[in-house]
Amino acid sequence: MPKISAIFWDLGGVLLSNAWDHNQRREAMEKFQLDAAEFEDRHEMLASSFERGKINLADYLDRTVFYRKRPFTVDAFREFMYSLSLPDLEALAIARGLAASGKYFMGTINNESMDLNDYRIAKFGLREIFDVFVSSCFVRLRKPDEGIYRLALEVTQMPPAECCFIDDRELNLEAAKRLGMSTVRMENAKQLQTDLARLGISA
């Protein structure tokens, strides 16, 4: 087996909580007492454009929440969205250790909207860990589309056999496997470290 020289990470569900997944959206619906079915219908129609950077957060909120008068402000809703992003401290420590070792090229392959992605990169010091962010909002492609994995490999010029991709969803790992990358499905930090060690990955 070739030696792993590059590690690509998902963010939501691996190093951080999800940015705006169904659980986060449900929390927002409950806090602001919104009609969840009505919101989800609008969200589903805009989700692809939102995560591929074709509309920004202000446009998204205008069309999913503030298309009618509300008893709360856009700022209040946006700040609550940001507050739902939480770190997995143990998993982040693993990633930081691998980055600090200098042995691996570190990148992300993640689906996130522009505003939330920028916020999370700054909030959790991710520029200190990663060399490149192949985020859906930057590259206009989303997992599990094989194109986003191909782009990550082409831009970084990393041989697939020397790459590992980490994600919490099996569907998102399938294209990476087809392209020849090693994969790890994230369940928890202890399991992650064990599975990485099996691939010869350690700080």
Q: Which residue has the tokens 């060690």?
A: 197
Element (H, E) at 8: strand 6-9
C-alpha atoms less than 13 angstroms from C-alpha of 178 in its C-beta half-sphere: 12
Amino acid at residue number 109 = I
**Residue 199 structure tokens:** 């691939």
Q: Which residue has the tokens 């008893």?
A: 71
Instruction: Give percent above pLDDT 90 in the chain.
Output: 99
Q: Each residue's pLDDT tens digit in the chain (203 positions)?
A: 789 999 999 999 999 999 999 999 999 999 999 999 999 999 999 999 999 999 999 999 999 999 999 999 999 999 999 999 999 999 999 999 999 999 999 999 999 999 999 999 999 999 999 999 999 999 999 999 999 999 999 999 999 999 999 999 999 999 999 999 999 999 999 999 999 999 999 99
Residue 184's DSSP bridge partners are 166
pLDDT of 195: 98
Domains with residue ranges and CATH for the chain: 6-17+87-198 (3.40.50.1000), 22-83 (1.10.150.240)
pLDDT of 138: 97
